[in-house]
Amino acid sequence: MKTTVEISDNLLEEAKRLAAREGSTVKALIEQGLRQVISAKKKPGSFRLRKATFKGQGLQPGVSTATWEQIRDLAYEGHGG
């Protein structure tokens, strides 16, 4: 798609020199820059996991020394797991 973008003369000249050095085009540099900015804005980082704690005294007696497999078996007990 064709579009018109206004950028400073100095920035355009620098982009042309860089493109020439890399055997690329200003168009490719602009696309690369836009992709990087868009990707950076999409990256997770602003996501915060909500605090999901439960009231109580921790694990039930007899479970505090159980292995993960034993705890998992207890969690699925009676549920077809």
Between 40 and 32, residue with greater pLDDT: 32
- Residue 49: pLDDT band (50, 70, 90) is confident
Mean pLDDT score, 3-19 = 95
User: Is 26 buried (19+), middle (13-18) or exposed (0-12) by CB count in 10 A?
Assistant: middle
Least confident residue range of 3-7, 21-25, 48-52? 48-52
**Which pTM was predicted?**
0.51
Q: What is the mean pLDDT of residues 71-78?
A: 88
User: How much is the pLDDT for 57?
Assistant: 76
Which amino acid is residue 60, in one-letter code?
Q
